[in-house]
């Protein structure tokens, strides 16, 4: 494998890791506040659909992105109403949201565009353009560092950089601000937060909304950055992979980046080498497709040490008994 | 004091939840510019209008009984098995291997053998997530979802590279031998002098599914194991104190769950297509979740909810055919049923409880 191939694979890994990273951070905020969210997948899917649909209709990717974020927040609030206000089962609510998104995107997509659940292909201003960094063209010919700069660092869409910037930002918000301290506290011991006179409900709703915004960005990136339009079930389990990455990262932002990059790299390798030959035995293409899912199980099986979730995760908070 | 009389808990609240789900589904139909009244008429006509329609409705209901029971058994141990789809896929593989193994002389011999094949393969596919949950604490919800994806890839590989007949372009096994063909409702009812549509896929598996409902009821409420499963589901610490091993309960309940999901294959693979094809489960594993929630994890509830979803599924197919409303509308209805009966249950329950309390106060 030559250097340029390596750069291309890494480049593709960064692109493929971006939606995972955004979704993983989304899950991080929600779960740190004690709200388990199986519905990342559905929120991403709904956001992908609406952002592509609006971008196709208006030709403006920004409007698409905001529409995507909007629908993702709406679903996040639904999850909040079910799991915070009505103290329902968070797993069941998440599953319902996944099905809701899977069904509605096709039903509405067929009614709007009549393309069997797809949106029209996005062109021009309907997609996020790749940002060329300064001097990328000039520096390209320098050995090693040139392609590294021109291909790997420069030339991604804006949302890739947003996702990368979200990592230190999330760390700062969660671990260096009062808001973050309270958010983590409601995930560990909501009664203590309540005793201190801070509203658990409000804190958890804020976390859920942040989760919605990040899932919306992830979905918008899928449909308008990574691909050119929406296709049925295009998230393909990424929401669940992001959750596994979150456990792998033990609910920490920087580790989340590492974990999602690993998954992105695997997907990139799987995409590039459809048939790998290992000492005369050809690894079937189906195995490469299933690899991210298999790896998710392997990681969850705890080959990474003990992962301890936020203590109050998944439990509705009852103020008085 | 009990807040609600029993009938309100098991009948009134599910019915209100269901009506809310239907109401919103109706709004969705309106929103995409179709007429909900026409839609309901199409669905009722298409799923109950004649014996062909009934045949399809009961065929789908059979699938959902198996997957619904699978989810329900796991629910009793407070486990959320979302892997019914993958377990039923693997069950299909087990059924196909058994059906193709020898030239079966009669279906009455082939069916029990195929049932064992389907149940063993389904249970085996549930075993790994169960083991990982019990021993390593890996969340069974995520692992079973991953196993759904893995099962699709595995089956794709096996059908294309191993099981496919030479020269056949489609990824499918050869057709099962005639001796493995299950009697349909038409063949079963003919000796009784009742005419039933010959092309409808409902078959003898329906009776097996009803029997499975009864056996699950016996298991959960009349056996020691069922008691242990329920005890563990209510309180892990109490169960542990009573000497019930959590590892054993997790694994055993998931094995039963997987076996039930795998058994579904006698209906869709052996009874209907009579060969194994890609994606033969068609989302029935997921509908099992809605069925189990709707049926309150009780076999009788699962039976009734399966009939309801059989109607919705067959009606949805008719809608796609006549009204060009995509079949995914059923997924939307399924999502709303899960949402209202599962997650937003308290939204309906609290006002109903308040209402009953005020009645009682007035009476007193």
Q: Can you name the residues that pair with B172 across neighbouring β-strands?
A: B277
Separation between Cα atoms, residue B151 and residue A234, nearest integer Å: 19
- Is this complex's ipTM strictly greater than 0.90? no
Give me the long-range contacts of A260-263 (CB less than 8 A, separation at least 24).
A260/A17, A260/A20, A260/A21, A260/A24, A261/A13, A261/A14, A261/A17, A261/A21, A263/A16, A263/A17, A263/A20, A263/A292, A263/A295, A263/A296
Is the CB of B342 inside 8 Å of chain A's CB atoms? yes
Total count of residues recorded for chain A = 321
Q: Give the domain range for residue B139.
A: 56-305
- For residue B89 the two structure tokens come to 């896929």
Answer whether residue B207 shows pLDDT above 90.
Answer: yes
B335 to A82: CB separation less than 8 angstroms, yes or no? no
Q: What local confidence, expressed as pLDDT, does residue B165 receive?
A: 81
Over range A40-60, report the average pLDDT.
92
Q: Give the CATH number of the domain where residue B286 resides.
A: 1.10.3470
First-to-last CA distance in chain B? Answer: 14
Q: When comparing pLDDT for B251 and A305, which is higher?
A: B251
Over range A35-50, report the average pLDDT.
93
CA atoms within a 13 Å half-sphere pointing along the CA-CB vector of A155: 18
∠ at Cα A47 (A42, A49), nearest 5°? 95
Q: When comparing pLDDT for A245 and A4, which is higher?
A: A245
- Residues of B in Cβ contact (< 8 Å) with A111: 32-33
Which of A91, A103, A294 is facing B80, going by the closest CB pair? A91
Q: What local confidence, expressed as pLDDT, does residue A137 receive?
A: 67
Over range B81-95, report the average pLDDT.
95
Where is A213: in which H helix or E strand?
helix A200-221
> H helices then E strands: how many in chain A?
13, 4
- For residue A291 the two structure tokens come to 């690899």
Answer whether residue B1 shows pLDDT above 60.
Answer: no
Over range A187-194, report the average pLDDT.
90
Nearest-by-CA chain A residue for B328: A103
Q: Which of A126-135, B43-52, B78-87 comes out lowest in average pLDDT?
A: A126-135
| Tokens 């601000």 found at | A177
- Residues of B in Cβ contact (< 8 Å) with A82: 339, 343-344
Is the CB of B130 inside 8 Å of chain A's CB atoms? no
- Residues of A in Cβ contact (< 8 Å) with B323: none
| Tokens 């390798």 found at | A269
Q: Which residues contact A78 (CB under 8 A, 6 or more apart)?
A: A93, A97, B339
Which of B132, B156, B328 is facing A107, going by the closest CB pair? B328
Over range B298-308, report the average pLDDT.
94
CA distances, A95 to each of A46, A139, B342 (Å): 14, 49, 10
Is the CB of B162 inside 8 Å of chain A's CB atoms? no
Asked if A166 contacts A22 with a C-beta cutoff of 8 angstroms, the reply is yes
Total count of domains within chain B: 1
Answer whether residue A321 shows pLDDT above 70.
Answer: no
B328 to A103: CB separation less than 8 angstroms, yes or no? yes
Over range B102-124, report the average pLDDT.
94
- Residues of B in Cβ contact (< 8 Å) with A43: none
Q: What local confidence, expressed as pLDDT, does residue A40 receive?
A: 94
Asked if B23 contacts B168 with a C-beta cutoff of 8 angstroms, the reply is no
Q: What local confidence, expressed as pLDDT, does residue A216 receive?
A: 95
Is the CB of B351 inside 8 Å of chain A's CB atoms? no
Q: What local confidence, expressed as pLDDT, does residue A305 receive?
A: 60
| Tokens 């009938």 found at | B7
Give the number of other Cβ atoms within 10 Å of residue B338's Cβ: 28
User: How high is the mean pLDDT of chain B?
Assistant: 90
CA distances, A25 to each of A93, B1, B16, B31, B148 (Å): 20, 45, 37, 34, 25
Which of B136, B328, B333 is facing A106, going by the closest CB pair? B328
Answer whether residue A116 shows pLDDT above 80.
Answer: no
B332/chain A closest Cα distance in angstroms: 5
Nearest-by-CA chain A residue for B161: A284
Asked if A49 contacts A230 with a C-beta cutoff of 8 angstroms, the reply is yes
Asked if A110 contacts B326 with a C-beta cutoff of 8 angstroms, the reply is yes
**pLDDT per position as a tens digit, B247-297:** 999 999 999 999 999 999 999 999 998 899 988 888 899 899 989 988 889
Total count of residues recorded for chain B = 364
Over range B87-93, report the average pLDDT.
96
Separation between Cα atoms, residue B329 and residue B343, nearest integer Å: 20
CA distances, B111 to each of B116, B180, B190, B312 (Å): 9, 7, 21, 28
Q: What are phi and psi of B291, to 5 degrees?
A: -65, -45
SS3 of residue A156 by DSSP: strand
Asked if A104 contacts A46 with a C-beta cutoff of 8 angstroms, the reply is yes
Nearest-by-CA chain A residue for B146: A293
Q: How confident is the model at residue A318 (pLDDT cuts 50, 70, 90)?
A: confident
Answer whether residue B97 shows pLDDT above 90.
Answer: yes
Q: How confident is the model at residue B33 (pLDDT cuts 50, 70, 90)?
A: confident
Instruction: Domains for chain A: give ranges and CATH numbers.
Output: 3-300 (1.10.3470)
Which of A96, A106, A302 is facing B335, going by the closest CB pair? A96
- Residues of B in Cβ contact (< 8 Å) with A99: 286, 331-332, 334-335, 338
Please name which of B234, B139, B143 lies closest in space to residue A309, comparing C-alpha atoms. Answer: B139
- Any domain includes B47: no
Size of interface A-B (CB pairs under 8 A): 143
Q: Are strands A276-278 and A156-157 parallel, antiparallel or unpaired?
A: unpaired
B145/chain A closest Cα distance in angstroms: 8
Q: What local confidence, expressed as pLDDT, does residue A155 receive?
A: 75
Which of A100, A284, A296 is facing B161, going by the closest CB pair? A284
- Residues of A in Cβ contact (< 8 Å) with B128: 297
**pLDDT per position as a tens digit, A92-105:** 899 899 999 999 99
CA dihedral B50, B51, B56, B58 (to 10 degrees): 110
Q: When comparing pLDDT for B63 and B140, which is higher?
A: B63
Q: What local confidence, expressed as pLDDT, does residue A306 receive?
A: 64
By a Cβ cutoff of 8 Å, what residues of chain A touch chain B? 38, 78, 81-83, 86-93, 95-100, 102-104, 106-108, 110-111, 117, 237, 240, 243-244, 247, 284, 286-287, 289-290, 293-294, 296-297, 300-302
- Any domain includes B146: yes
Is the CB of B36 inside 8 Å of chain A's CB atoms? no
- For residue B195 the two structure tokens come to 């005419």
- Residues of B in Cβ contact (< 8 Å) with A93: 339, 342-344
A136/chain B closest Cα distance in angstroms: 40
B357/chain A closest Cα distance in angstroms: 19
Asked if B82 contacts B338 with a C-beta cutoff of 8 angstroms, the reply is no
Is the CB of B352 inside 8 Å of chain A's CB atoms? no
Over range A176-189, report the average pLDDT.
92
Asked if A296 contacts A73 with a C-beta cutoff of 8 angstroms, the reply is no
CA atoms within a 13 Å half-sphere pointing along the CA-CB vector of A70: 9
């Amino acid at each position: 494998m030559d250097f340029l191939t390596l750069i291309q694979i890494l480049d593709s890994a960064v692109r493929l890791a971006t939606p995972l990273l955004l979704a993983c951070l989304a899950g991080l905020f929600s779960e740190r506040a004690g709200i388990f969210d199986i519905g990342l997948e559905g929120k991403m899917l709904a956001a992908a659909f609406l952002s592509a649909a609006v971008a196709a209709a208006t030709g403006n990717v920004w409007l698409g992105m905001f529409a995507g974020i909007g629908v993702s927040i709406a679903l996040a609030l639904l999850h909040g109403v079910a799991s915070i206000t009505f103290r329902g089962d968070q797993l069941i609510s998440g599953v319902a949201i996944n099905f809701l998104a899977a069904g509605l995107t096709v039903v509405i997509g067929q009614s709007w565009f009549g393309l069997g659940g797809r949106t029209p292909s996005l062109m021009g201003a309907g997609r996020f353009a790749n940002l060329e960094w300064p001097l990328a063209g000039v520096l390209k010919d320098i050995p090693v560092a040139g392609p590294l700069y021109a291909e790997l660092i420069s030339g991604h869409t804006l949302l890739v950089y947003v996702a990368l910037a979200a990592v230190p930002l999330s760390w700062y918000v969660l671990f260096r601000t009062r808001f973050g301290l309270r958010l983590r506290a409601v995930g560990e011991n909501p009664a203590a937060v309540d005793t201190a006179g801070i509203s658990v409900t409000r804190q958890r709703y804020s976390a859920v909304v942040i989760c919605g915004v990040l899932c919306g960005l992830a979905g918008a990136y899928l449909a308008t950055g990574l691909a050119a339009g929406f296709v049925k079930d295009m998230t393909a389990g990424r929401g669940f992979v992001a959750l596994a990455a979150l456990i792998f990262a033990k609910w920490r932002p920087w580790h989340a980046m590492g974990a999602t990059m690993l998954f992105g790299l695997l997907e990139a390798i799987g995409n590039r080498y459809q048939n790998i030959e290992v000492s005369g035995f050809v690894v079937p293409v189906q195995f490469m497709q299933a690899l991210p899912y298999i790896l998710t199980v392997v990681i969850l099986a705890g080959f990474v040490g003990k992962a301890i979730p936020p203590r109050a995760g998944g439990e509705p908070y009852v103020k008085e008994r | 004091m009990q807040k609600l009389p029993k009938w309100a808990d098991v009948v009134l609240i599910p019915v209100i939840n269901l009506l809310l789900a239907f109401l919103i589904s109706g709004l969705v139909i309106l929103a995409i510019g179709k007429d909900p009244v026409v839609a309901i008429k199409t669905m009722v006509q298409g799923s109950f209008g004649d014996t062909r329609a009934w045949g399809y409705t009961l065929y789908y209901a059979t699938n959902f009984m198996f997957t619904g029971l699978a989810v329900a058994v796991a629910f009793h141990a407070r486990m959320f098995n979302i892997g019914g789809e993958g377990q039923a896929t693997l069950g299909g593989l087990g059924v196909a291997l058994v059906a193709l193994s020898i030239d079966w002389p009669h279906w009455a011999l082939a069916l029990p053998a195929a049932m064992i094949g389907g149940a063993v393969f389904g249970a085996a596919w549930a075993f790994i997530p169960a083991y990982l949950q019990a021993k390593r604490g890996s969340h069974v919800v995520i692992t079973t979802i991953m196993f759904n994806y893995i099962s699709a890839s595995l089956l794709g590989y096996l059908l294309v590279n191993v099981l496919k007949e030479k020269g056949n372009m489609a990824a499918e096994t050869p057709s099962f031998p005639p001796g493995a063909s299950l009697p349909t409702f038409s063949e079963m009812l003919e000796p009784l002098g009742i005419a039933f549509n010959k092309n409808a896929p409902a078959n003898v598996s329906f009776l097996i599914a009803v029997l499975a409902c009864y056996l699950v009821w016996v298991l959960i409420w009349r056996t020691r194991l069922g008691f242990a499963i329920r005890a563990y589901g209510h309180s892990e610490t109490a169960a542990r104190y009573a000497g019930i091993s959590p590892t054993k309960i997790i694994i055993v309940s998931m094995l039963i769950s997987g076996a039930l999901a795998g058994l579904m294959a006698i209906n869709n693979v052996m009874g209907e297509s009579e060969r194994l094809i890609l994606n033969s489960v068609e989302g029935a594993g997921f509908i099992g979740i809605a069925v189990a929630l709707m049926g309150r994890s009780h076999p009788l509830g699962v039976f009734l909810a399966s009939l309801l979803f059989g109607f919705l599924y067959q009606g949805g197919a008719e809608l796609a055919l006549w009204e060009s409303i995509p079949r995914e509308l059923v997924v939307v209805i399924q999502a709303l049923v899960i949402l209202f009966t599962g997650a937003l249950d308290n939204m309906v329950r609290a006002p109903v409880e308040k209402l009953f309390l005020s009645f009682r106060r007035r009476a007193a």
